[in-house]
A and B are shown apart, each in its own frame.
Chain A
């Protein structure tokens, strides 16, 4: 069962995580988002039933709204920066895309609205990795936008 939590670190998030077995921390490459994610990771390790029993909470990082071109220009935190700061394994990278808002406007997840779009593919791949498939993580190409070069990346 997958339980989506409200964004941020308010009570909604702490309620949603309380009985979790595995957690996916979704973050954007910006300061406020990474900061909240760090606090959520702290809460996952201390305020969940699993943590209170002394067990280790399995955590994954899903980086969304990533713009490789801006990261390459030095105007956005890079994947490695975020991974170094949060130090939890990466589940996937979802590129910034207009398809997401378009799908949201239609009231449909991007994976159903346009399954061939870059973000949809990223979500499908992340889901497969969560299920245990050893799929290399693809970083959207750094120079020619999202649909440009794609190179393999070792799953953390």
Chain B
């Protein structure tokens, strides 16, 4: 059996690795371009809201999801008890 394996060499795997990487990185590079946009949006949204009330920078989440047809931007900001009425404001 070992002899058989020796002679019937499996096909080269490096081209597959190369192709996988190219597809993967093309996708990832495109989405990191988007995360810069998300960071910018986050900073500007924060600046606008903090003009009117005190918010904790750490308790803000901005998510962008890309779909084939529609992309969504979800902003979740937690407003501290003292600043508002202890409610969570959610916009999507």
Query: How many residues of chain B get a CB closer than 8 Å to chain A's CBs?
Result: 15
Which chain A residues lie closer than 8 Å to B15 at the CB level?
74
Tell me whether A75 and B29 are in contact in the complex, defined as CB-CB below 8 angstroms, given that A46-B36, A81-B18, A85-B21 are known contacts.
no
Chain B nearest Cβ from A68, distance in angstroms: 12
Which chain A residues lie closer than 8 Å to B25 at the CB level?
35, 38, 85
Chain A nearest Cβ from B7, distance in angstroms: 15
Which chain B residues lie closer than 8 Å to A46 at the CB level?
36
Query: How many residues of chain A get a CB closer than 8 Å to chain B's CBs?
Result: 17
Cβ contact within 8 Å between B21 and A73: no
Which chain B residues lie closer than 8 Å to A150 at the CB level?
none
| B-to-A contact residues, CB < 8 Å | 12-15, 17-18, 20-22, 24-25, 28-29, 32, 36
| A-to-B contact residues, CB < 8 Å | 30-31, 34-35, 38-39, 42, 46, 71, 73-78, 81, 85
